Structure 1
Amino acid sequence: MINRLEQEIKKTTFRFVLTSLILLLAAVALSVVWNRSIKDELAIQASSFVRKGISTKEMRGVVEYLNGVQFSAFRHVSLMSPNDEHIITLPPVFDRRTSSQDLMSQILYSSVTIPIFLDTESKSLAAKATYTYSRFELVPYAVLIWLFSAMMLALVFHQAKKKVEIEFEKEVRVKNAELTEEIAKKVRHNIRSPLASLRAIFIEKMFSPEMIFDQGIGVIKRLEEIIEELKPRNPDNTSINSDASKQNTKAIFDVAQMLKAIVAEKKLISKNVEIDLTILNSESSYGIYTFISTAHFLPMLSNIIDNSLQAIKIGGEINITLSYDEESFSIEVKDTGHGIEKEHLTKVFDKHFTHGKIDGSGLGLFYAKKLVESNLGNIEITSDYGKGTSLSFILPRAKTPSWHIDRISLGKYQLITLCDDQQTMIDAWEVKFRGLSKSPEIESFRSCESMEKYIDLANSRLYLVDFDLGEGKMTGLDFLARHPSLSKNFVLVTGHYDEPWIQDACQRLDCKLLSKDSIFQLELN
């Protein structure tokens, strides 16, 4: 907005300067033309008097008259014979005819030559009078007029500039108010599902400790992402305080992981609706990635599934299908709700359009369409009123990174080495491993420095190491950089999973990367 104001002021200033220059040139040109017409008239009048003097042979009177005319209006006046012989030049101090031949004099001065006839009927040529004058002698007066006009224009310009600034301030206030209201609606919309999950976890207490831990981490992550979205952003739509704003590369995000997380969250709050997730071609490792961040992708999925939940009054199903190929992936959300009437189906992607919701804001599907299409995708919705609705979208797929991991084969490892400065994360891993029929041997450390003392390069260990282990301490990436031979058995487990520079570092060090909130989604065999 500020840049637009500056551009408007620059444009107005440019127009003012350009108009002033055009007026100046016009004033100068007009003064030159006007001066020429005045000199022509004076030369004709003077030549008429000279003709009378020559016919009466009063040459002294002619000279005196020409001297007076020259003094008042011309640089010099020359009288020539019919054969172009020089008779007299006034003023007679020196002959200026030769000095009038150089280029500068030709630019600054102009001449009017009038033939003098004794008899206008017989056309008997008696002499020629040449009147030389300055082209620009009226320019100072024209400049004075221009200065006055420029001052008037400057006053108008100042008033226009002030008006633009006032109008801009009004527009900014209106835009800020609209933006604040829209952000508030978006936050209210996005925060409902995480809060409902927290209620199911901590108030209804209907889940096992493992599920509470798993879903609790996911909900907290969602809330952190919503808060992150409220931070000031630069023109590239990156948080000003984010390390990602310093990177040229873009982070990529695991689609299957995000989809599993949001489905698990919705299952917590949907008691009478069965939600099924199907991933086609699931016999292979997923590795489906997108450039759309979790902070944008999860709210979009959450809203789409919420729409289906609200469309189902008593009992029903929601079937979510993820399919993919080498170039793209698609997600379909199909419900058995009441459906959407035909007349409303074409409006569901319009901003602020809502139907059948008591507290709907009309922003969810609007932002979904905007997000999908801005990432070169396509979104469609079909509905059979009274039977259900199907919404699907397709997006380009990012290349699967070398650090991708969604399962671990524990058979080849004799020991599991955990390193995290938070005991809750170590407890989470231990809960995860206790669920196996044969629990592996586990050792844990709170820092890389202490783990490094017991490192055994010859032993077959799996290293599950946090990135940030406290200020001033060695990071998980620093540890791996010091011991690169461990890369094949090394998994960096971090909440900074979506930082592009961490993803690049894992690619470079040839290790695996896992998000902390995906621990319980990780498959072990």
Structure 2
Amino acid sequence: MKAPPLNNLLRKFLVFQLLTLVALVGLTVAFTGHFKNRLAGQLTEALREPLISGDIRSVSTQMSGPISRDFRGAVWVPKNGDAPFSVPIGLGPQNILLYRTAAVPIYFDEQSTRLAGQLLFYYSRWTSIPTAIAIWLVLILISIPVVRRENAQLAREYELRLKFELKDSQASLAAQVAHDIRSPVAALDTVLKDLSQLPEEKRVMIRGAVGRIRDIANNLLEQNRKEARGESGHEPAAAVPGSAQLLSNIVDSLITEKRLQFRAQIGIEIDSRLDPSSYGLFAAIPPSEFKRVLSNLINNAVESLPEKGLVTVQLAANGDSTEIRVQDNGKGIPQDVLARLGQRGETHGKAGGSGLGLYHAKTSVGSWGGSLIIDSELGKGTAVTIRLPRARPPEWFVSGLVLSPGAPIVVLDDDASIHQVWQGRFESVHVKDHGVEVLHFSTPAELRSWARTDARAAKDPLYLLDYELVGYRDTGLSLAEELGIGARTILVTSRYEEKGVLADSLRLKARLIPKSLAGFVPIRIKKDEVPERLDAVLIDDDPLTRMTWTMAATRSGKKFQSFSTVAEFFKEAPAISHETPIYIDADLADGVNGAQESLSVRDLGFQDIHLATGHEAARFAAYKHLRGVVGKEPPWSQEE
């Protein structure tokens, strides 16, 4: 960055004023000379006759006043060699450095052929300089406001240019760092595929750390791309809410990271308060930005503590909102300072702090539709609460386990501690009293052997399968696909956020529970009820069609239920008798193939399955399990 242009402006101003002064002096001197020459000519014309006739006394008497008023004096030098005379008497040659001469010749005749002599008028060479200086000073006074405005404009332009160059430098550095990070992250991803010898907890921690590094790198690159397109590189990240994120998993992984970060500070304890009440809390947030905000808040809490102290992070529901509370037992914040915190540039208790951390946190949370509240009491500590609107859980998430009496449960996991967790959870709701048998398997071979021994019994259980099975190529999803149990499978895994795992789960109709939340998922046993036999069930994404069927069922006195997706039907299927006729639209929302979905419905035990569509029946000849292909009219419309 070049030096500020203000010195250049000052130099230019001074040079300009100096040249202006020189020009003014030259102009005034030239103007004075021109004026004196004209005046000398006029005086000479009046003195011509006396001078030619030699009437020196008359010249001295008549012209002494006019000459002395405008000139230093005048000297008559005759051509015939007579002695010169002067006005005033005794005026001799003058110093050419101080005086200039206006010489006017006088002729005997009007044709100017016979020279009588010349009259020399002397006047001060520098009389005009004070006038030039006075004009110059006036010009300076006039130009000072202009120079000030120009100076301010240059200062603003310099500051903006400095900011842009600094921003470009930072963006370039961020892009380079992000680019350089991606290569080691790719190497770590390769290593992560072979971490089977590590315990599950350490695998989760390493994956979480690598994932966060990847998020940071991607975010830096995205900001750099936005700035290159002329978009804002700072606010937009916060302005886009993102998809629904499971908050408990973000908080839990970040707490683990922070404990490692501050483990050298032995007296500092970081605790998380996650319990069953925090299960299943989602918010529409960008995960990497939320982690950055929460990470900064935890850092602030730790930095506010002396050598010993406690930082607690709590996640809880509050009506339609979710609250994440970061609390410390430090020295607290004065009320006058507390009122200003969260404003740009306001900070407290941090040497060199800019106040941008809390400001960024507050604006980010606000852009997600939430709020950030700071409470503090001197001597007791500070609590910062992030309040976010609750988001609806995604379709893949298991909000709770609903167990059917008499239906077995199969648990497949290579980690013995997970089997203990599930056993304890099921014993707490007394599953044995309801005829629910829990089967535990540790290897794919054990599950396959049991399923092949009693293929019919293998169709009934609820399957809780681990995704990553140490020492085996098989995964929980590949086994679910192999055994045809996808719709009754719940994948219990720490890798639920991976796109490939999530995509395969949705394809197989399997749902997921993050493994870290296995101890918190609500469990209840459905009351002993005989599944209700309905006259029809319709699965159709068109609300008008569902309304038409509902009205027809009401008029005909039929028992009827409708669903917009197959996933909605699966949730209610245990309460519906397998003898109920099922009607499925061939073309469901988001490109879902209803005919293909009917296979999953059949796998649940339903036999009377129809496609309700406008297409010809021949198009679905390959689906032998279908009882028929009908139109969109309700099956009992002919009874009306």
Q: Which has the higher contact order (CA 8 A, sep 6+)?
A: 1
Interval of TM-score (by shorter of Structure 1 and Structure 2): 0.3 to 0.5
TM-score (norm 2): 0.39
TM-score (norm 1): 0.46
